[in-house]
Amino acid sequence: MKHTKVKDLLASTTTLQEVNAKGWVRTFRNNQFIALNDGSTINNIQCVVDFENTPDEILKRITTGAAVSVTGTLVPSKGAGQSFEIQVSKLDILGDSDPEKFPMQPKKHSLEFLRENAHLRVRTNAFGAIMRVRSVLSFAVHSYFQEKGFVYVTTPIITGADAEGAGEMFQVTSLPIDNLPKNEEGEIDYKKDFFGKHTNLTVSGQLEGETFAMALGQIYTFGPTFRAENSNTSRHLAEFWMIEPEVAFNDLDANMDLAEDFIQYVIKYAMDKCPEDLKFLESRLLDEEKSKPQAERSEMTLLEKLNFVLENNFKRVSYTEAIDILRDSTPNKKKKFNYIINEWGADLQSEHERYLVEKHFKCPVILFDYPANIKAFYMRLNDNTEPGKETVRAMDILFPGIGEIVGGSQREERLDVLVEKMKAIGIDEKELSWYLDTRRFGSAVHSGFGLGFERLVLFVTGMTNIRDVIPFPRTPGNAEF
């Protein structure tokens, strides 16, 4: 007999004579009530076992974590908390789970403990919900761009471009590391390596993406990205997923409009498709915050925060305005920031970004027109900027509780300006000759951005550590599983 998903059983409107459900036991109460979950929904289905007619050896094997198959009648439930339940006529244990050994007991586990058991944490309510929301959000990403006629481009994961410039890279090699071939100068001879050259894992698909935008018009990438940055924070992973749209003929304003519209669309999509999971995650967050002092608790619930983002425009603020606000801010004057803001040109730390978003504007903020020398070489130099105070058409989107969620820019479309910039910072023109071809042949204004998918999932699920929104996190010192 084919089993029916718990989600569909719970959505039934009538009694059904014979149904079969398969799943994992969450709890077994009074030798009678199984809370069964199969991952199709946050909700369990109650299965009422006829314990008087079930052998003791079977009853003993209905333990948390065990896989079971139940057959019976789906009837309206007399108990509170569920609409329908299964009156079990036949129960099979598919796979036992020793209650002395199964780590996911029905009690509160710390997030740290769950991280160490990432292969089993997905059997908890919270991680089931997070992973379903993550899945729906990735579909929403494709749905948004496909509806708008963007072309999905898969850029290489192994890259020969050393100058992507977005972060520290992981080297890819098939050379024997205990016996490296050397050239006449005594340097490692990468000609003997697998690709005949030095290669890395990608830190961004942008440069390749730009070449496609300059032919297909509107493109997006959505793939894994690797950064060997040793930042042990709650917002950085060594392996994360990035979404990078790139659009020909878009200037920075159009780029900001696209980013804002995209973020609102995917959040709305998740709210429409995952109401129960989000409701659960909202109560999880409320629960977690109860242990915090009043001042550190959020002013809004999770769903209020998500609605707020849908209903309000992001505040657009130039870097220069932001510096003025920060310089005059109380934490700056009282020297509460770790990095005190004195001068125009300072790079903003996450404490500053969070002050702007959470304390000053109290809404998502788009900062734009950053100083040229704290941003990447490919960003469009603003016309009419004072010498020494050059700015570029960059934008970062800052979110409450997250900090930077998007980094993007209008790209420098002028070949001579771009080449000069590369020279000034020591990027070999020959290395990136293919990239410069976009500017040599039919160059045009174009813009794009990168959005860290896990930071989006963090925001939507109300989780606070990025390690909790990716199935198997990779961070410095940790590549378990």
Residues that bind ligand ATP (CB under 6 A): 166-167, 227, 229, 236-237, 240, 242, 404-407, 450-452, 454-455
**Residue whose CB is less far from ligand ATP, 35 or 460:** 460
- Which CB atom, from 175 or from 363, has the smaller least distance to ligand ATP? 363
Contacts of 79 (CB under 8 A, 6+ apart): 46, 85
Residue 166 or residue 432: which is nearer to ligand ATP going by CB? 166
Name the one residue in this structure whose structure tokens are 């105070």. 389
Query: In the complex with ligand ATP, which residue's Cβ is closer, 229 or 321?
Result: 229
Instruction: Output the smallest distance, CB 194 to ligand ATP, in A.
Output: 26
Q: 405, 354 in Cβ contact below 8 A? A: no
Classify each residue of 194-218 as buried b or exposed e, where b means 16 or more C-beta atoms within 10 Å of its C-beta. eeeeebbbbbbbbbbbbbbbbeebb
Sequence letter at residue 83: S
Joined tokens for residue 286 = 């409320």
The residue (of 227 and 439) whose beta carbon lies closer to ligand ATP is 227
Q: How far is the CB of 451 from ligand ATP (least distance, A)?
A: 6
The least CB distance from residue 403 to ligand ATP, in Å, is 6
What's the closest the beta carbon of residue 291 comes to ligand ATP, in angstroms?
27
Cβ closest to ligand ATP, residue 4 vs residue 204: 204
In the block, tokens 């030798």 appear at 31
CB of 352 to ligand ATP, least distance (A): 12
Beta carbon of residue 370, minimum distance to ligand ATP (angstroms, whole number)? 11
User: What is the smallest separation between the CB atom of 16 and ligand ATP, expressed in angstroms?
Assistant: 46
Q: Which is nearer to ligand ATP, 245 or 452 (CB)?
A: 452
Q: DSSP assignment, residue 47?
A: E
Residue 401 contacts by C-beta under 8 Å, 6 or more apart in sequence? 298, 358, 458, 459, 464
Looking at the Cβ atoms of 209 and 452, the one nearer to ligand ATP is 452
Give me the least distance between CB of 204 and ligand ATP, in Å please.
Answer: 6
- Smallest distance, Å, CB 470 to ligand ATP? 9
Q: For residues 26 and 36, is the Cβ–Cβ distance under 8 A?
A: yes
CB 365 within 8 A of CB 397: yes
Beta bridge partners of 247: 218, 447
Q: Under a CB-based contact definition with an 8 Å cutoff, are residues 438 and 245 in contact?
A: no
Nearer to ligand ATP, 10 or 406 (CB): 406
Identify which of 426, 429, 453 has the alpha carbon closest to the alpha carbon of residue 439: 429
Nearer to ligand ATP by C-beta: 62 or 451? 451
- Taking the complex as a whole, how short is the minimal distance between the CB of residue 374 and ligand ATP, in angstroms? 10
Render 111-151 in DSSP notation, one character per residue. HHHHHHTHHHHTTSHHHHHHHHHHHHHHHHHHHHHHHTTPE
208: its two tokens = 């390749």
User: Do the beta carbons of residue 191 and residue 199 sit within 8 Å?
Assistant: no
DSSP codes, 312-368: SPPEEEEHHHHHHHHHTSHHHHTT-SSS---STTPPPPHHHHHIIIIIII-S-EEEE
